[in-house]
Amino acid sequence: MGAGVLALALLVVALDRLFPPDLRRWQERSTLVTDEGGEVLRAFITADGAWRLPMSATEANPTYLAMLLAYEDHRFYHHPGVDPLALARAAGQALRHGRIVSGGSTLTMQVARLLEPRPRTVASKLLEMARALQLEARYSKSDILGMYLTLAPFGGNLEGARAASLAYFGRPPAALTPGQAALLVTLPQSPTKRRPDLAPAAARAGRDALLRRMAAKGVLSRQAAREGMSEPLPTDRRPLPFLAPHLADRLRRAAPPGSVIASTLDAGLQRRVEATVRGTQDTLEPAAEVAVLVMEIGSRKVRAYVGGSFSGPFGQVDMAAAPRSPGSALKPFLYGLGFEALPLHPETRINDVPTVFGDYAPRNFDGGFHGLVTVREALQQSLNVPAVKVLDRLGPARFLGRLREVGAQVVLPRPDAAPGLPLALGGLGLSLADLTNLYADLGDGGQARPLLLTPSEAPGPKRPAKRLMGAVAAWYVAEILSGTPRPDGRAAVGGRWVAYKTGTSYGFRDAWAVGFTSTHVVGVWVGRPDGTPRPGAAGRDMAAPLLFRLVDLLPDWGTPPEPPPGVLEAGPGHALPPALALFDRGTPGGSLAAAAAPLRIAFPPDGAEVERTPGRDGAPVPVPLEALGGRPPLHWLGNGLPLPDSASGEGADWIPDGIGFADIAVIDAAGQRAKATVRVR
């Protein structure tokens, strides 16, 4: 007798090992990407075309679970997978009515059927019972309940309570009302005949019958049941969440199929950002795209991520991760490193005059030059010559090395060539994500940290700290950028402090704006992914207005940062040390402007009329330009354009480009500027 029992037990174990439950349908689940709080951002359909969204018992509404167990298997926690009492009841009902009234299946047996669908025969029922015993031996009750909540059919290609809750009610399963929960309890019994969008009468009848039954059993109060029956049914099936699709794609590719991937995003903020971006996107030509990143400075968690429209000819390209030329948006870091390594201060004066660096002659965006300006003015006005002068002194390799040292993935136009002075004006490739994180470094007192797209990426406590620049240099840059006029021309109101910078790449291919408060940083890129120029589309006009609309969405603006120890005050009553007064090499700090005589234009004087006289060959005769005072060499401009310097470095010849009024300007080596407006006849 004992030997027979042992042999039977060994046979059962052997069969269990040889023929384990087939879990492939449960394992082939939809990949989910969620925000940090678990809200679904995007789901991916399975290879067999199902929305089979993974779900655990802990994610379900308690009322839904209570009704499910009371309706389907009220002894779920007390049987080993097969309930003899339920089977006996089902057999008795079949004998009395001459037909099958209930199948006697437990939830575990239903899971077995969902895992391995078969025709409903006696043999199939026996196999389901065996599989149910196997499942109970291998998995906890909570695991089995999670399998049901993932695999149960809810009509069409919806599988699982999470998919049904999102598709029919637009809410997570934890937030179901009693009426909604009751509908989802009854739907798997007849997922086609009770679909609320296709058969509302049958769906309502099934729901209401269940609510009355639950009230009679005491699972629900009668009041809750009445309220549930008065709830409207969903009339259509909603699309599943589709937030941050570019980031979701990126995270899905890096994870095993069927994963639930938590991101650092905030779904509520993501919705508001996407809605705001659509308002701008709708005003652009079809091939143009907008990318946005919103990040917390302290944690470096990315809270909103827009890679593009995800439609149109280039919408699926993730422009938040694509390297593009940042234009002048790179200048703050150049000046910041200059504050750290060079005799440079926000009030240091620097000459914005025509300057040639070997074969490189930078010009300003407006085509003119502004003479002696402070570094503050140079950065706020985004002047090019001063920036190149600082980079020339700092060294392009040093500048590039620091960016790479803190993690920026910089792409050079020619990887085999040494970096050059065009870096100052954005002559490299940098993604919006990297650029935004560099601005977060500025807002973090120069402290460099990696940006986080998932909570699991958070660095450990032993990670060595890196710095983009020192705290004083970072504060100087932030303080300068906070004074940059806003695109609407109004100053900051309500005590809201924002530091920002715009950028425009060569040929108007990329328009940028990046700004930060004391708590968040926002980066904006506008352009065409194929690099086609968009004439006139500058960062200040295309990206900055959107930047400030996005900043208005931030949950916390914080307060302006306090100056760190070591900040050198300058201004009325606080003169700079001589070494910091004037940047241009070869000049004693601040002495040139004081020593030079006042500069003025001698000919033609302001208000004069000049003749546009043709010469013998028909070409116009040049007008000789003369100045008094100043310190040579002198640089002349006609209508904002540089004129060839004379051999003496004092006068110049000017050929008017037409009749009418014209502006003539001259700038000396000390930065003095004189101007005359003449009329050409």
Positions marked catalytic: 72, 328
Residues in a beta bridge with 666? 636, 674
Residues in a beta bridge with 51? 158
| E strand or H helix that includes residue 279 | helix 267-281
- From the list 240, 65, 53, the residue with the least C-alpha distance to 162 is 53
Question: Running DSSP on this structure, what letter comes out for residue 538?
Answer: -
CA distance 332 to 284: 28
CA distance 122 to 466: 69
* Residues contacting 332, CB < 8 A, separation 6+: 379, 439, 442, 477, 480, 481, 501
- Report the relative pairing of strands 673-680 and 466-467 from DSSP bridges: unpaired
CA distance 587 to 582: 7
Token pair 């089995």: residue? 144
CA distance 162 to 150: 8
Contact 96, 211 (CB under 8 A): no
- From the list 306, 329, 276, 160, the residue with the least C-alpha distance to 548 is 276
Contact 461, 440 (CB under 8 A): no
CA distance 155 to 279: 36
| E strand or H helix that includes residue 654 | strand 652-654
Residues in a beta bridge with 526? 290, 511
CA distance 588 to 434: 39
Question: Running DSSP on this structure, what letter comes out for residue 296?
Answer: E
Residues in a beta bridge with 680? 610, 660
Contact 38, 60 (CB under 8 A): no
DSSP secondary structure, 448-478, as one string: E---BSSGGGPPPTTSPPEESS-HHHHHHHH
